[in-house]
């Protein structure tokens, strides 16, 4: 079916590569919920998933296998696939004239690939010499919209961050692992003596190095130099690139918690000059994509259980640092599959599509 805008311009054809994964599933929901600017939406996945039927915009659509030909006639492709698959296939699609919006880690730190958050650095999307635009990691994305707003007003000078990351950051396997572990420990007295949870869970730790039910795990990602994790380096490197602050001091500790979806972060942000809580609240309350939910005396602060399934970055517990009048303390929550992944990809794709008018 030919889909024309009222202006007569052909609606862009979109490919969703990785349509069957955890982020892909949310992507199809988001494409069904947002303003429909797309012509054909082509669903693509590994040959193993080809032939499956998924619903997008209320229409059952068959999944095609990833191949060179699948990109014929496509204008924009959203990729949510492992790094090595993106590294191979994003250039293949780009060579066929497709603009790729990639949610893997393969291109994020390449100097000739923009790393875009539409509320923070939308201008960057236009400079994409390789035809690839990168989407940040979900941990960075869960805080950067709020930080970007504060940075514009106050000039960020330093960040100290701890994450509390949901298991769906590790995909469907992460969610299945937590659910299995919860069923093993539910209704027991486990969690009262050293190692009892570990013994009950056995080798069933899935993509995590330790049991995650009844636990917190101070590790996410793979090892990097000097004891840091890949996830911690991503938060540091990506925040610097998005905010245009290549030397910003950033200290990060990434932690996995028994939450299904929605990453939370505590943030200590130091700025150029003295800040006030009133000023910060005003900025956060009016920043696009941010919800300020901050009245602890009335029990109001964001939690993952309430934020999951929503689009904004939620901010609460806004305080001025006790020992530094230039610094703020915040608690931030964001759905890691929506703004942390699929929604930001969709917003970038919409920015690219808007260039056609
Ligand atoms: C995680 N941020 O939460 C990663 C996924 N990209 O595991």
Rounded Cα–Cα distance for residues 319 and 311 (Å): 24
Our answer on whether the CB atom of 170 is closer than 6 Å to any ligand 1 atom is yes
Best mutation site among 24, 79, 138 for ligand 1 pocket (most ligand atoms within 8 Å of CB):
138
Which of ligand 1's atoms lies nearest the C-alpha of 263? 3
Q: What is the pLDDT of residue 356?
A: 80
Q: Tens digits of per-residue pLDDT, 315-355?
A: 999 999 999 999 999 999 999 999 999 999 999 999 999 99
Residue 264, by phi and psi: left (phi above 0), alpha (psi -120 to 50) or beta?
beta
Nearest alpha-carbon partner for 72 in 122, 13, 23: 13
Which of ligand 1's atoms lies nearest the C-alpha of 105? 6
* Alpha helices (H) along 156-246: 171-185, 196-201, 230-243
User: Measured in whole angstroms, how far is the alpha carbon of residue 281 from the centre of its chain?
Assistant: 24
Nearest alpha-carbon partner for 342 in 56, 102, 113, 147: 102
Rounded Cα–Cα distance for residues 12 and 31 (Å): 13
Q: What is the pLDDT of residue 2?
A: 44
23 carries a ligand binding annotation: yes
Rounded Cα–Cα distance for residues 206 and 4 (Å): 46
Q: What is the torsional sign of CA 20, 342, 112, 70?
A: positive
Yes or no: say if 31 and 38 are a contact pair by the CB < 8 Å rule: yes
Rounded Cα–Cα distance for residues 173 and 280 (Å): 39
Going by alpha carbons, the residue nearest to atom 4 of ligand 1 is: 169
Tokens representing 85?
Answer: 């698959």
CA of 170 to the centre of ligand 1 (A): 5
Yes or no: say if 318 and 292 are a contact pair by the CB < 8 Å rule: yes
Which of ligand 1's atoms lies nearest the C-alpha of 169? 3
Max CA pair span of the chain: 69
Residue 321, beta-bridge partner list: none
Q: Token match 């939910």: residue?
A: 293
Going by alpha carbons, the residue nearest to atom 7 of ligand 1 is: 169
Yes or no: say if 71 and 96 are a contact pair by the CB < 8 Å rule: yes
Q: Environment class of residue 132 by beta-carbon count within 10 Å: exposed (0-12), middle (13-18) or buried (19+)?
A: buried
Q: What is the pLDDT of residue 7?
A: 62
Q: What is the pLDDT of residue 357?
A: 74
Q: What is the torsional sign of CA 311, 124, 284, 325?
A: positive
Q: Which residues of the chain have pLDDT under 70?
A: 1-8
Q: What is the pLDDT of residue 9?
A: 78
Tokens representing 50?
Answer: 């080809």
Rounded Cα–Cα distance for residues 182 and 176 (Å): 10
């Amino acid at each position: 079916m030919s889909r024309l805008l009222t202006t007569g311009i052909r609606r862009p054809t979109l490919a969703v590569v990785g349509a069957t994964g955890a982020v892909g599933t949310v992507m199809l929901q988001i494409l069904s919920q947002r303003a429909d600017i797309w012509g054909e939406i082509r669903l693509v996945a590994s040959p193993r998933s080809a032939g499956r039927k998924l619903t997008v915009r209320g229409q059952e659509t068959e999944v095609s296998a990833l191949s060179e030909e699948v990109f014929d006639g496509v204008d924009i492709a959203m990729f949510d696939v492992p790094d090595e698959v993106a590294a191979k296939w994003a250039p293949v699609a780009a060579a066929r004239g497709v603009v790729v919006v990639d949610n893997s880690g393969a291109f994020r730190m390449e100097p000739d690939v923009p790393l875009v958050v539409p509320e923070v650095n939308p201008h960057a999307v236009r400079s994409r010499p390789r035809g690839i635009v990168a989407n940040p990691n979900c941990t960075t994305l869960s805080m950067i919209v709020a930080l970007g707003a504060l940075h514009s007003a106050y000039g960020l000078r330093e960040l100290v961050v701890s994450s509390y990351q949901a298991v769906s950051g590790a995909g469907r396997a992460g969610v299945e692992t937590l659910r299995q572990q919860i069923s093993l420990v539910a209704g027991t007295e486990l969690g009262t003596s050293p190692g009892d949870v570990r013994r009950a869970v056995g080798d069933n730790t899935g993509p995590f190095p330790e049991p995650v039910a009844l636990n917190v795990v101070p590790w996410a990602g793979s090892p990097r130099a000097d004891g840091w994790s890949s996830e911690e380096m991503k938060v540091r490197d990506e925040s610097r690139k998005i905010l245009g602050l290549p030397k910003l001091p950033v200290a990060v500790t990434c932690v996995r918690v028994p939450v299904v979806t929605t990453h939370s972060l505590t943030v200590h942000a130091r700025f150029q000059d003295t800040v006030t809580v009133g000023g910060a609240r005003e900025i956060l309350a009016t920043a696009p994509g941010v919800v300020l939910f901050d009245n602890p005396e009335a029990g109001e602060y964001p939690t993952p259980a309430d934020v999951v399934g929503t689009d904004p970055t939620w901010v609460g517990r806004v305080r001025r640092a006790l020992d530094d009048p230039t610094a703020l303390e915040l608690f931030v929550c964001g759905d890691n599959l929506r703004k942390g992944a699929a929604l930001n990809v969709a917003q970038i794709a919409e920015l690219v599509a808007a260039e056609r008018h």
